[in-house]
């Protein structure tokens, strides 16, 4: 419990914002087995150049097969950060709603360093009462802000730590975080169905 309290304080998360804490995976597992999952809209974002090219391809995800002819349906959108504004975000969210997305995940390449674009999407979705999450928030809560290999070297009798970043690993990590975001979202979605 202390660890949860520390995480919420360190990441400036109000207890009022915590709607669900999972102590087991039973509910999520049952939802996956039964296919009782929400259709997920993924909004990927990044700067331009090589980062944009890679992020656009890697945030465009296919449906996830759950077996027994069940799947998590995914619809994708991508927003270059240089074209990011409230109207463009609202239009993107509306397009995902037309494709029947019930929950949203906003994921920006290197969003831990600057989560503001994800926050713009989050706030726009919240205004429309669409359950959403930001990949950078999940990363911060789990203290996954540095992706790389720490190398310890001795220099004049002092240990120096250098972190070497592995960019392909980082992008796979973001995809994994997005999946965690979906799990959290459809657990919240199922919970709201149970209690309504």
| pLDDT band at 4; cut points 50, 70, 90 | low
Helix, strand or coil for residue 15?
A: helix
- The percentage of residues in the chain with a pLDDT greater than 70, rounded to a whole number, is 53
How high is the pLDDT of residue 166? 45
pLDDT tens sequence across 5-46: 666 677 777 766 665 555 445 666 666 667 777 888 989 888
Q: Which residue has the higher pLDDT, 62 or 146?
A: 62
At 86 the pLDDT is: 92
Q: Which of 38-42, 99-103, 128-132, 158-162 has the highest mean pLDDT?
A: 99-103
Rounded to a whole number of angstroms, the CA Rg of the chain reads 18
70-72 vs 158-164, strand pairing mode: unpaired
Q: Tell me the pLDDT tens digit for each residue of 76-121.
A: 999 998 888 999 999 999 999 999 999 888 888 766 567 788 889 9
The CA-atom distances, in angstroms, between 102 and each of 16, 40, 112, 126, 174 are 23, 6, 25, 12, 21
Does position 1 have pLDDT exceeding 60, yes or no?
A: no
Domains and CATH numbers, the chain: 35-194 (3.40.50.10700)
| CA dihedral sign of residues 183, 189, 192, 196 | negative
Confidence tier at 195 by pLDDT (50, 70, 90):
low
Q: What integer pLDDT is reported at residue 164 of this predicted model?
A: 42
DSSP 87-146: HHHHHHHHHHHHTT--EEEEEETTTTT--HHHHHHHHHHHHTT--EEEHHHHHHHTT---
Q: What is the number of alpha carbons within 13 Å of residue 69 lying toward its C-beta? A: 0
Backbone angles phi, psi at 148, to 5 degrees: 170, -175
């Amino acid at each position: 419990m202390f660890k949860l309290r520390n995480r919420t304080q360190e990441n400036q998360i109000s207890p009022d914002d915590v709607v669900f804490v999972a102590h087991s995976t039973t509910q999520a597992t049952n939802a996956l087995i039964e296919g009782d999952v929400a259709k997920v809209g993924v909004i990927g974002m990044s700067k331009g150049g090589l980062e944009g090219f890679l992020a656009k391809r890697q945030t465009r995800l296919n449906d996830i097969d759950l077996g027994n002819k069940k799947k998590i349906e995914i619809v994708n959108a991508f927003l270059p950060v240089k074209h990011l504004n409230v109207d463009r975000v609202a239009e993107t969210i509306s397009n995902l709603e037309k494709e029947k997305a019930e929950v949203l995940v906003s994921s920006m390449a290197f969003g831990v360093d600057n989560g503001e674009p994800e926050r713009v999407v989050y706030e726009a979705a919240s205004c429309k009462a669409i359950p959403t999450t930001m990949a950078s928030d999940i990363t911060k809560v789990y203290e996954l802000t540095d992706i790389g290999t720490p190398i310890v070297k001795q220099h004049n009798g002092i240990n120096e730590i250098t972190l070497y970043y592995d960019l392909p690993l980082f992008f796979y990590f973001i995809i994994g975080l997005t999946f965690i975001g979906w799990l959290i979202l459809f657990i919240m979605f199922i919970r709201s169905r149970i209690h309504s």
